[in-house]
């Protein structure tokens, strides 16, 4: 294969990149931890197995729950035959809609979320819905009981077929993921008056996060409190929802999530495994663990819905945009309305005389979609950045030059200034490092044996805000400092980054800082999501450090229990001024297409980003490389195939659902440009999501350059290439 054979024009084949130095205003006297690579504080514990994940923490008297899910896509449960299962060895209980604890309706982190209302009635809204939990003394006995449980259904007709012209499409009516339709100027008039018009449709399929660590929770009642160890992205928010759902005071619930093995959005909200474990622990009054199977993760923890998008670009002959219209449709379930906001990139990327984004959604009998890495931005950028490549060809401009010509002064949709942007620097530096100047723009002009070779480029962007969080810092009597914050480290290195932040804010070495995270008792903190975590948590820690340092000037010794300062940034966040805050980047890809098999191999990728202040170059680089790898996977491999007859997913496992493996991933280089940002005093922007944005378009544009064929439907499978 060719994945390790970069072309002669490649400036470098080194995988390691240290990143350029990033200099922004330091919060206080700096000891220099921020900006310096640091291995993960818990790395050794993880690779030696000492770190315990939610499914591994040992408990005395633990019982095991095994979930039974529906085998029909729509209907009602007629009967559940529990007697034979209750007679099986080790089986303790079978929970189902007739005997499970009642839950408070209307609970949800972002509005009422009926996906939490499990085992509450006989309704089956999709294939793979929770219908029963078999609890037994061992996981094997629970599984045997679950497999033996007979559930009969009264089936109803279902519809799981999404398309961009489904008659059920409607305009969502609001909410966080609701209607964001906007129009500046008169798009139709500008399109009609434009000498050059690109009008194309793009589709992306169902995509799944499928984190390495399955969703798992163990729950027990301890001293009158419901205590959970759960795999999630935000222990505090999950604890609050858990309390509400079970009619408990917030103080009666504690959720901890010390180690989390991947999430990508699938663990952002409370998920059924935790609710089921809490139900069983309550009914049985003993600790209960529930771990989802890989297959169950394909129906119960969210997915990126398929999208159908239409992008219309109207331009002057010199490439300047007169109109940009981005219409995006996706599906949700009948349970809960989630809309994939694929129009988002079009609201910030380019200056257009008239701009419109519209969102449509249709409710199908499918599992409920949810946030998946760069929700909206990832599929939306595939459409927009492909369309820009098509426009570049039409007007005979280099695709980078086209983007530079349409660089906006302020955010096109809101009219607000950007806190920082630096996309031009990404393109200029990226073009130099990737060797873009040598490119012959003619499609099909490079051949290497049986391979056609091409290069492509795309822009990347992702929202990067700051949200309220709280943190505490304790000066210990032994000279160490302890940070407590309900942040989550989902594998990103957040714990280490926060230690670096605290060390600099206290002007002490990193090794004197202990970081305790992911415990709802630490108070509110935003979840590890939306590329909002590090900036938001770092600000709270920085504030707590300032308060602690002030306290320490007033004392001459530290008592046994230490001295603690707390900070809460809620008021600071409220006082922030109106700015658009986004991470940006430029993605470059070189692909080779086998003319005999249609196989697309990515030979090399280079991503260069403007992500504000980089706390830990080592783990920041991993996040960006990981995002680009996921984007490569999106471009070439990932595709959930829904069976229209059963309504289930054909490939609900990691054998059938293809993700890029090591052999698919070539040299990926990552770097970042100086990007000073003073939106909040930490200077940090999020970088967990921007890495996946634009990657698929860069690859699709490279395939077009290699072969002369434009692919507007993902993934670019070899049968589509031939």
Q: Mark the segment that binds ligand MOS (CB under 6 A) among 105-113, 353-361, 367-375, 607-615.
A: 367-375
234 touches ligand MOS (CB under 6 A): no
Q: Least distance in Å: CB of 205 to ligand MOS?
A: 17
Q: What is the C-alpha to C-alpha distance for residues 132 and 70, in angstroms, rounded to an integer?
A: 9
For residue 78, what are the contacts with CB-CB under 8 A and spacing of at least 6? 122, 152, 153, 154
Nearer to ligand MOS, 233 or 333 (CB): 233
Whether 160 contacts 333, CB under 8 Å: no
CB of 370 to ligand MOS, least distance (A): 8
How many angstroms separate the CA atoms of 189 and 461, rounded?
28
Residue 255's DSSP bridge partners are: 228
Is residue 371 near ligand MOS by the rule CB under 6 A? yes
Which entry of 190, 227, 590, 689 is annotated as an active-site residue? 689
Residue 531: left (phi > 0), alpha (psi -120 to 50), or beta? left
For the chain, the first-to-last Cα distance in angstroms comes to 19
**Distance of alpha carbon 275 from alpha carbon 266, whole angstroms:** 15
Cα separation values, 420 from 409, 532, 583, 673, 680, Å:
11, 16, 8, 12, 12
Burial classification of residue 420, based on how many CB atoms lie within 10 Å of its CB (0-12 exposed, 13-18 middle, 19 or more buried): buried
Whichever of 456 and 626 has its CB closer to ligand MOS, that residue is: 626
Site residues for ligand MOS, 261-300, by CB under 6 A, read: 265, 268
378 scored as a contact of ligand MOS (CB under 6 A):
no
Please report whether residue 375 would count as binding ligand MOS according to CB under 6 A.
Answer: yes
Residues from 672 through 691 that contact ligand MOS (CB under 6 A): 689
Judge contact between 205 and 638, C-beta under 8 A: yes
Burial class (CB in 10 A: 0-12, 13-18, 19+), 298: buried
Minimum CB distance to ligand MOS, residue 531 (Å): 6
Cα–Cα distance, 179 to 361 (Å, whole number)? 10
Instruction: Tell me the β-bridge partners of 201.
Output: 310
Least CB distance to ligand MOS at residue 264 (A): 6
Among 82, 233, 296, 616, binds ligand MOS (CB under 6 A): 233
* Piece of 121-129, 283-291, 365-373, 442-450 that binds ligand MOS (CB under 6 A): 365-373
Subset of 504-543 contacting ligand MOS (CB under 6 A): 529-530
Question: By C-beta, is 220 or 524 nearer to ligand MOS?
Answer: 524
| For ligand MOS, the closer CB: 113 or 689 | 689
- Give me the DSSP letters along 411-476: -TTT-PPBS---HHHHHHHHHHHHTGGG---STT--EETTEEEEEEEEEEEEE------EEEEEE-
Q: 39-68: which residues touch ligand MOS (CB under 6 A)?
A: none
* Nearest residue (CB) to ligand MOS, 289 versus 304: 304
Residue 372 lies near ligand MOS (rule: CB under 6 A): yes
Q: Which residues inside 134-153 make contact with ligand MOS, applying CB under 6 A?
A: none
Closer CB to ligand MOS, 212 or 437, in the complex:
212
**What is the DSSP code string of 534-595?**
HHHHHHHHHHHHHHHHHHHTT-SS--TT-EEEEEE-HHHHHT----B-EEEEEEEEEEEEET
Mapped onto helix, strand or coil, the DSSP state of residue 163 is coil
Interface segment toward ligand MOS; rule CB under 6 A; list 210-218, 247-255, 370-378, 495-503: 370-378
In the complex, least distance from residue 490 CB atom to ligand MOS, rounded to whole angstroms: 8
Q: Which of 289, 373, 403, 524 binds ligand MOS (CB under 6 A)?
A: 373
Q: Total residues contacting ligand MOS (rule CB under 6 A)?
A: 10
Q: Quick one: 337 or 689, whose CB is closer to ligand MOS? A: 689
**Shortest distance in whole angstroms from residue 237 CB to ligand MOS:** 12
Q: Nearest 5 degrees, angle CA 287-CA 288-CA 290?
A: 155
**Quick check: is 689 catalytic?**
yes
**How many residues would you count in the chain?**
722
Q: Is 344 helix (H, G, I), strand (E, B) or coil?
A: helix
Q: ∠ CA(268), CA(526), CA(255), 5° rounding?
A: 65
Counting contacts by CB under 6 A, is residue 379 touching ligand MOS? no
State the minimum distance, in angstroms, from the CB of residue 484 to ligand MOS.
23
130-136 and 63-69 strand pairing: antiparallel
- Select 268 or 412, whichever has its Cβ closest to ligand MOS: 268
DSSP state letter for 53: P
* Cβ proximity to ligand MOS, 378 vs 545, nearer residue: 378
Task: Check: CB of residue 374 under 8 Å from CB of residue 187.
Answer: no
Contact assessment for residue 714 and residue 382, using Cβ atoms and an 8 Å cutoff? yes
Give dist(CA 693, CA 674) in Å, integer. Answer: 20
- Listed ranges 88-96, 371-379, 514-522, 709-717: which one lies at the site for ligand MOS (CB under 6 A): 371-379
* x-or-dash string of contact with ligand MOS, 190-229, rule CB under 6 A: ----------------------------------------
- Of 375 and 493, nearer to ligand MOS (C-beta) is 375
CB of 230 to ligand MOS, least distance (A): 15
The closest residue (CB) to ligand MOS is: 265
177 or 704: whose CB is closer to ligand MOS?
177
Taking the least distance from each CB to ligand MOS, the nearer of 164 and 375 is 375
Query: Radius of gyration (Cα) for the chain, nearest Å?
Result: 26
- Between CA 470 and CA 566 the distance in angstroms is 7
> How far, in Å, CA of 338 to CA of 305, rounded?
9
Q: Least distance in Å: CB of 48 to ligand MOS?
A: 28
CB of 376 to ligand MOS, least distance (A): 10
434 — alpha (psi -120 to 50), left (phi > 0) or beta? alpha
Least Å from the CB of residue 260 to ligand MOS: 11
CB of 233 to ligand MOS, least distance (A): 6
| Residues 314-353: x where in contact with ligand MOS by CB under 6 A, - otherwise, as a string | ----------------------------------------
Question: Is 630 a residue that touches ligand MOS (CB under 6 A)?
Answer: no
> What is the contact surface with ligand MOS in residues (CB under 6 A)?
233, 265, 268, 371-373, 375, 529-530, 689
Q: Which residues are catalytic?
A: 689
């Amino acid at each position: 294969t060719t994945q390790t054979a970069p072309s002669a024009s490649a400036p470098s084949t080194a995988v390691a990149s240290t990143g350029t130095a990033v200099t922004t205003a330091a919060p206080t006297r700096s000891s220099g931890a921020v900006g310096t690579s640091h291995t993960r504080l818990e790395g050794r514990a993880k690779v030696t197995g000492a770190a315990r994940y939610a499914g591994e923490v040992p408990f005395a008297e633990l019982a095991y729950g095994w979930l039974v899910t529906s085998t029909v896509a729509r209907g009602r449960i007629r009967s559940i035959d529990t007697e034979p299962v209750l007679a099986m060895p080790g089986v303790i209980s079978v929970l189902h809609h007739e005997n499970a604890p009642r839950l408070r309706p209307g609970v949800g982190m972002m509005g009422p979320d009926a996906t939490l209302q499990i085992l509450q009635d006989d309704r089956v809204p999709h294939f793979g819905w929770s219908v029963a939990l078999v609890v037994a003394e061992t996981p094997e006995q629970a599984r045997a009981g679950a497999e033996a449980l007979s559930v009969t259904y009264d089936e109803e007709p279902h519809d799981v077929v999404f398309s961009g012209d489904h008659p059920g499409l409607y305009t969502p009516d609001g909410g966080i993921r609701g209607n964001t339709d906007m129009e500046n100027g008169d798009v139709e008039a500008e399109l009609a008056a434009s000498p050059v018009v690109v009008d194309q449709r793009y589709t992306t399929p169902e995509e799944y996060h499928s984190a390495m660590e399955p969703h798992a929770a163990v729950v027990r009642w301890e001293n009158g409190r419901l205590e959970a160890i759960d795999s999630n992205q935000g222990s505090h928010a999950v604890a609050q929802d858990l309390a509400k759902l079970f009619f408990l005071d917030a103080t009666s619930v504690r959720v901890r999530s010390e180690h989390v093995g991947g999430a990508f959005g699938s663990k952002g909200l409370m998920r059924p495994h935790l609710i089921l474990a809490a139900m069983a622990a309550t009914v049985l009054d003993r600790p209960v663990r529930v771990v989802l199977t890989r297959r169950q993760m394909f129906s119960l923890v969210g997915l990126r819905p398929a999208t159908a998008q239409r992008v219309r670009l109207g331009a002057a002959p010199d490439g300047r945009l007169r109109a940009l219209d981005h219409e995006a449709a996706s599906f949700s379930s009948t349970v809960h309305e989630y809309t994939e906001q694929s129009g988002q990139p079009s609201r910030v990327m380019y200056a257009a005389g008239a701009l419109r984004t519209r969102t449509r959604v249709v409710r199908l009998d499918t599992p409920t979609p949810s946030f998946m890495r760069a929700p909206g931005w990832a599929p939306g950028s595939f459409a927009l950045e492909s369309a820009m490549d098509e426009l570049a060809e039409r007007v005979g401009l280099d695709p980078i030059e086209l983007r530079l010509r349409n660089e906006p002064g302020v955010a096109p949709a809101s009219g607000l200034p950007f806190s920082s942007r630096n996309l031009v620097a990404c393109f200029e530096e990226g073009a130099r490092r990737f060797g873009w100047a040598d490119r012959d723009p003619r499609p099909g002009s490079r051949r290497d044996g049986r391979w056609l070779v091409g290069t492509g480029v795309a822009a990347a962007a992702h929202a990067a805000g700051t949200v309220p969080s709280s943190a505490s810092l304790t000066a210990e009597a032994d000279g160490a400092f302890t940070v407590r914050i309900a942040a989550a480290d989902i594998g990103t290195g957040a714990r280490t980054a926060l230690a670096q932040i605290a060390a600099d804010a206290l002007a002490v070495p990193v090794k004197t800082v202990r970081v305790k995270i992911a415990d709802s008792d630490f108070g509110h903190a935003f979840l590890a999501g939306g590329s909002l975590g590090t900036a938001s948590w770092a600000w709270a820690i920085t504030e707590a450090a300032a308060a602690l340092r002030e306290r320490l000037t007033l004392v001459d010794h530290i008592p046994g229990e230490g001295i603690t300062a707390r900070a809460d940034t809620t008021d600071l966040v409220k006082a922030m001024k109106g700015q658009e805050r986004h991470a940006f980047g430029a993605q470059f890809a070189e692909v080779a297409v086998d003319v005999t098999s249609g196989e697309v191999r990515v030979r090399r990728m280079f991503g260069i980003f403007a992500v504000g202040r980089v706390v830990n170059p080592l783990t920041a680089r991993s996040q960006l490389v990981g995002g680009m790898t996921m984007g490569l996977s999106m471009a070439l491999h990932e595709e959930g195939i829904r069976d229209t007859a059963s309504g289930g997913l054909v490939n609900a496992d990691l054998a059938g659902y293809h993700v890029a493996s090591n052999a698919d991933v070539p040299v990926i280089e990552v770097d970042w440009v100086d990007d000073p940002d003073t939106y909040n005093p930490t200077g940090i922007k999020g970088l967990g999501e921007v890495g996946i944005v634009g990657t698929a378009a860069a690859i699709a544009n490279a395939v077009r350059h290699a072969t002369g064929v434009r692919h507007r439907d993902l993934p670019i499978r070899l049968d589509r290439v031939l």
